[in-house]
Amino acid sequence: MPVRSDPHPVVERFARVRAAAAARYGPDSQAVTFLLYEELISMRTLLAGDPGCAPARDRIDELVPDIQSRYDTAGAVEPAQVYHRTVSVDPTVIEFDRGFFELRYRRALRDLGRRAVRLRDRDQALALLTAGACYLYAVDDEGDLWVWPQPHRLADVMFGWAPGRPAEGPRVVHPMLVPDRLRVRAAGELVVVGSPERVFVTANLKSGHFRPPRACAAEIRRAATSALELTSPVDVDVFTMPQPTVTPTC
């Protein structure tokens, strides 16, 4: 049986905060899931600085399945109207409805005055992205990785924006990252941590507009590994979303 390393002070601190959140909001609450996600990013940051940090590796091995299990049991409801469709498989490619995009999002995209940026190499990505911040991403139908160059706090992404905070302009949605073809192999949110020497990515498939299935995890893992010149696909954590259930009508 492998010998576990002694707990790291950061792991112990997260454990205390998580216990307090579980006591207040419940062990299966979104608050606890957020803390687990934040801890994973912290562990990846520790490992980037010290590849030999056994406590960080041990904790990552625990965190990834724990977070995924929480996503699996969260549940998702199919919206009344669906504006996406799967146009091919192997790899899966999902297309957003052109008419609805033009009606709902084209003007907002023009008002923003900018577009998503294609990640081409590690230096460009590290110059563009703030380590530890959350970004909307899309892998287009040709396999290229695009990010919207506006960082968000992880708490804002998971819990929504607090009332009273100043508006940051039109809301950006995933189809706005690929406005020319409106096709993706994957879409969601990602966080990059590390340095020019070692980089890790934590991503999910959380896109309500494209609803990428579990199979799309391979595409963001492949795209991130290539674009950021990662050592291995295992340096990319990807969390999949539960398949939506149809709301019964009476």
Rounded Cα distance between 58 and 67, Å, is: 15
Going by their DSSP bridges, the two strands 145-147 and 236-239 should be labelled as unpaired
Question: What is the token pair recorded at 215?
Answer: 């199979």
- C-alpha distances (whole Å) from 119 to each of 77, 122, 137, 229 are 32, 8, 10, 11
DSSP codes, the chain: -PPPPPPPHHHHHHHHHHHHHHHHH-TTSHHHHHHHHHHHHHHHHHHHH-TT-HHHHHHHHHHHHHHHHHHHTT--EE-SS--EEEEETTTTEEEE-HHHHHHHTHHHHHHHT---EE--SHHHHHHHSPTT-EEEEEEETTS-EEE-S--B-HHHHHH-PPTTPPP-SSPP-GGGGSTTT-EEEEEEEEEEEE-SS-EEEEEE---TTT---GGGHHHHHHHHHHHTT-S-GGGEEEEPPPPPEEPP--
Q: Which residue is associated with the tokens 């890790």?
A: 200
**214, 242 in Cβ contact below 8 A?**
no
How many Å is the Cα radius of gyration of the chain?
Answer: 19
Rounded Cα distance between 61 and 213, Å, is: 23
Rounded Cα distance between 211 and 92, Å, is: 12
Question: What is the token pair recorded at 118?
Answer: 């294609």
User: pLDDT of the chain along its 250 residues, tens only?
Assistant: 555 667 789 999 999 999 999 999 999 999 999 999 999 999 999 999 999 999 999 999 999 999 999 999 876 667 768 999 999 999 999 999 999 999 999 999 999 999 999 999 999 999 999 999 999 999 999 999 999 999 988 887 776 654 444 455 678 999 999 999 999 999 999 999 998 889 999 999 999 999 999 999 999 999 999 999 998 999 999 999 987 665 444 3
Q: Is the dihedral of CA 85, 98, 238, 10 positive or negative?
A: negative
* Residue closest to 126 by CA, chosen among 228, 38, 49: 228
* Residue closest to 187 by CA, chosen among 137, 223, 226: 137
CA 218 to chain centre: 14
- C-alpha distances (whole Å) from 24 to each of 34, 159, 244 are 14, 16, 29
